[in-house]
Amino acid sequence: MALKDDFVKEALLPSTVSDASPRKKGSCRAGLVVVKALLLGLSVWACLNALDLAPVPACMKDRLGHEREWKADEQCPQATAVVPKKNVELWSSLGKTFDSDAFKARAVEWIGGAVRVPTQSYDKMGPVGEDKRWEAFGPFHDYLLKSFPLIHSTLELTKVNTWGLVYVWKGSDASLKPLLLAAHQDVVPVNPDTVDEWTHPPFSGYFDGERIWGRGSSDDKSGLIGILSSIESLLEAGFQPTRGVVLAFGFDEETSGLHGAAAISKYLHETYGENSFLLLVDEGGGFAQEYGSVIATPGIAEKGYIDVRVEVTSPGGHSSVPPQHTTIGILSQLLVHYEENPYEAKLSRGTPIYWKSQCLAAYAPDLPGELRKALKKSVKSDKALKAAQKELFKSKSFHALVGTTQAIDLINGGVKTNALPELAWAVVNHRIATDSSVGDVQAHDTELLKQLAHQFNLSYTAFGSQLTEEGAPAYGTLTLSDAWGTALAPAPISPIDAPEYALLSGTIKATYNAHRSLTGDENIVVAPGIMSGNTDTRYYWALTPHIYRYNHHNGGNTTGIASGVHTINEFLVADAFYEQIRFFTTLILNADEFQA
Ligand SMILES: *[C@@H]1O[C@H](CO)[C@@H](O)[C@H](O)[C@H]1NC(C)=O
Ligand SMILES: *[C@@H]1O[C@H](CO)[C@@H](O)[C@H](O)[C@H]1NC(C)=O
Ligand SMILES: [Zn+2]
């Protein structure tokens, strides 16, 4: 799961990927848009206000170069529910199977058994082959082999970097881009001190009649076993795909994906090439009740990331003759200055989070009336946009999701009480707004500390550039750097006006309906979301522009479904798992018939 804080940034992006972000400031030229709007006789394009909103661009191109603009009457375009046509009978009969008690018992056993094989990944693990802890994945592979016999006799399995799993289900039409489904095998370690606090032991996979308990039950064995349960069932029903299906299961997502997804990415690039998949679904957002409406939120973007190391040096000596400010004192002032100057968050029309709020305005009946009005007007009015922002930012988590955040997470300095510290450092973790960049953050932090560097007479180097006069006498040094060399740009935004997004949205709607015997297109609304952390998809940007981070779970339902992710008492509501199997089945069948 990506909404998390405990992953180590060791990841190095493949170089083909790091340039992939097409985000350019000011890419929406107001003049062009004015002409367009005049041609259409409608002056309601958000991009008209592009110039008023500087420095944040009012509209932005997604990675296919489509500009996102909102018409007042089209705040949150919705796809219709999509059910298989050619394979509708197969789909219906599998639906009945999924409703049977026999299948449900089997599904509970599939996921429970997977939870019972611990696959913990730890921070800073050594390479595969050297670090023995990776061998925990061997029994998990044995479990999969034993539990999904048809998959293992039909699909082609390649083990990448020993523990990475790539399954290929060949389609009869090799010209069709395969569907790519991803999940991760590893789970967050269980803190041994907290084992007693678990209602049921963390690796019990215990089923209490309603929930399956244990580490990984939700994150992300529900995804991985959900995919395999769906495919095993399709195979049992005799389904033979026209479009290929490829499964990519990394094994260290929780600690950066450096050994797993990074290697799988390389393998997939070599085997299939860039832009070679129809679409990719990996773990991510789910669906939840929001303001009176059920809203599914597939992640179409991920925030960026950088850990900035702030290092101060100054002369040491005996602490009986101290200077007014020691190295630690100076560092402290720098850090206080950081916290007194948080990044300004700005709700901007060109961002997925704004599109999501437009979906709330269009479809959530219990949204406060004033906010709805402001959001609707905000399409063309900057004043209304500010009013909507003010209201929405009352939620701390919404505010954090929109902007670049900063958190001082590490500090170190000093060795002895009678010696002045010569060195002190801290690491500031930033999650970078989807409409910002690593460069923006570096520039911002560099500027932020300039005055204090001068005041303390420090020679200042930031991200490799010397900012004070080279060789000029100084009292000490201040150095800013990318702490582990793992900065990550915000992910390219997956297009939401593409047929692939309609395929996903329509599949979500059809699954939701089928699981509850509903009909119609508005039982669940699909709205774009963003992830504040990073999934394995960070390595897969170049494989397809259509990347959706989505678990068909109601993870946001605190009275209901998945809970305890990354902490004690992780569990999965069995019914949510059955629905997830239905989702993957529907997706595979719909993708099989999909024509762009
Ligand atoms: C900065 O520190 C150096 C070394 O201690 C000293 O020579 C120089 O005069 C100081 N400059 C200022 C402006 O205090
Ligand atoms: C949330 O969970 C409760 C209790 O399990 C359930 O009654 C409700 O329908 C759920 N809401 C959604 C949106 O699934
Ligand atoms: Zn996960």
Q: Are residues 288 and 327 in the same domain?
A: no
Tell whether 71 is covered by a domain: no
Q: Are residues 191 and 270 in the same domain?
A: yes
Nearest to 92 by CA among 295, 237, 270, 261: 237
Rounded Cα distance, 403 and 441, in Å: 11
- The pLDDT of residue 70 is 43
Q: Are residues 287 and 334 in the same domain?
A: no
CB distance 289 to ligand 2 below 6 Å: yes
- pLDDT grade for 554, boundaries at 50, 70 and 90: confident
DSSP string across 140-180: HHHHHHHH-HHHHHHSEEEEETTTEEEEEE--S-TTSPPEE
Give the residue, out of 210, 211, 287, 289, with the most ligand 2 atoms within 8 A of its beta carbon, to mutate for a pocket test.
289
Tell whether 21 is covered by a domain: no
- pLDDT grade for 68, boundaries at 50, 70 and 90: low
**186 among known catalytic residues:** yes
Phi-psi region for residue 150, left (φ > 0), alpha (ψ -120 to 50) or beta? Answer: alpha
Domain tally for the chain? 2
Tell whether 244 is covered by a domain: yes
Q: Are residues 349 and 445 in the same domain?
A: yes
The 3-class secondary structure across 434-470, one letter per residue, is CCCCHHHHHHHHHHHCHHHHHHCCEEEEECCEECCCC
Higher pLDDT, 420 or 5: 420
CATH classification of the domain holding 162: 3.40.630.10
Q: Which member of 62, 67, 186, 302 is catalytic?
A: 186
Tell whether 19 is covered by a domain: no
Whether 528 has a pLDDT exceeding 50, the answer reads yes
CA dist 196 to 1, 201, 205, Å?
Answer: 24, 8, 16
- The pLDDT of residue 569 is 87
Question: How many other CB atoms sit within 10 Å of the CB of residue 162?
Answer: 16
- pLDDT grade for 214, boundaries at 50, 70 and 90: very high
Q: pLDDT (tens digit, 9 = 90+) per residue, 142-189? A: 999 999 999 999 999 999 999 999 999 999 999 999 999 999 999 999
Write the burial class of residue 471 (CB in 10 Å: 0-12 exposed, 13-18 middle, 19+ buried).
Answer: exposed
User: Residues marked as binding?
Assistant: 184, 219, 254, 282, 566
Gap from CA of 282 to ligand 3 centroid (Å)? 9
Please state the length of the chain.
596
Q: Are residues 277 and 208 in the same domain?
A: yes
Tell whether 36 is covered by a domain: no
Whether 567 has a pLDDT exceeding 90, the answer reads no
Q: pLDDT (tens digit, 9 = 90+) per residue, 351-397? A: 999 999 999 999 999 999 999 999 999 999 999 999 999 999 999 98
Task: Give percent of the chain above pLDDT 70.
Answer: 86
Q: Are residues 124 and 215 in the same domain?
A: yes
Gap from CA of 585 to ligand 1 centroid (Å)? 70
Tell whether 523 is covered by a domain: no
**339 among known catalytic residues:** no
- φ/ψ of 306, rounded to 5, equals -155, 140
Residue ending a domain, choose from 458, 482, 506: 482
Q: Are residues 97 and 220 in the same domain?
A: yes
Q: Are residues 211 and 262 in the same domain?
A: yes
Rounded Cα distance, 331 and 340, in Å: 14
Tell whether 33 is covered by a domain: no
Rounded Cα distance, 574 and 562, in Å: 10
- Say how far residue 211 (Cα) sits from the centre of its chain: 25
Q: pLDDT (tens digit, 9 = 90+) per residue, 259-304? A: 999 999 999 999 999 999 999 999 999 998 889 999 999 999 999 9
Nearest to 333 by CA among 312, 362, 315, 358: 312
Rounded Cα distance, 388 and 406, in Å: 24
Tell whether 247 is covered by a domain: yes
Among the bound ligands, the one closest to the CA of 555: 2
Q: Which member of 62, 69, 232, 253 is catalytic?
A: 253
Rounded Cα distance, 205 and 391, in Å: 43
Q: Are residues 459 and 366 in the same domain?
A: yes
User: Residues marked as binding for Zn(2+)?
Assistant: 184, 219, 254, 282, 566
CATH classification of the domain holding 401: 3.30.70.360
- φ/ψ of 494, rounded to 5, equals -70, 135
- The pLDDT of residue 564 is 72
Among the bound ligands, the one closest to the CA of 293: 2
- The pLDDT of residue 67 is 63
Whether 54 has a pLDDT exceeding 70, the answer reads no
Question: How many other CB atoms sit within 10 Å of the CB of residue 575?
Answer: 15
- The pLDDT of residue 64 is 66
Q: Are residues 418 and 323 in the same domain?
A: yes
Structure token digits, residue 251:
């094994």
Q: Are residues 551 and 575 in the same domain?
A: yes
CB distance 20 to ligand 1 below 6 Å: no
Residue 441's domain comprises: 304-482
CA dist 210 to 96, 228, 493, Å?
Answer: 20, 21, 37
Rounded Cα distance, 375 and 72, in Å: 10
- pLDDT grade for 243, boundaries at 50, 70 and 90: very high
Q: Are residues 94 and 239 in the same domain?
A: yes
Whether 100 has a pLDDT exceeding 50, the answer reads yes
Which atom of ligand 1 is the closest one to the Cα of 457? 1
Which secondary-structure segment (H or E) carries 300? strand 299-302
pLDDT-wise least confident of 6-15, 101-110, 370-379, 525-534: 6-15
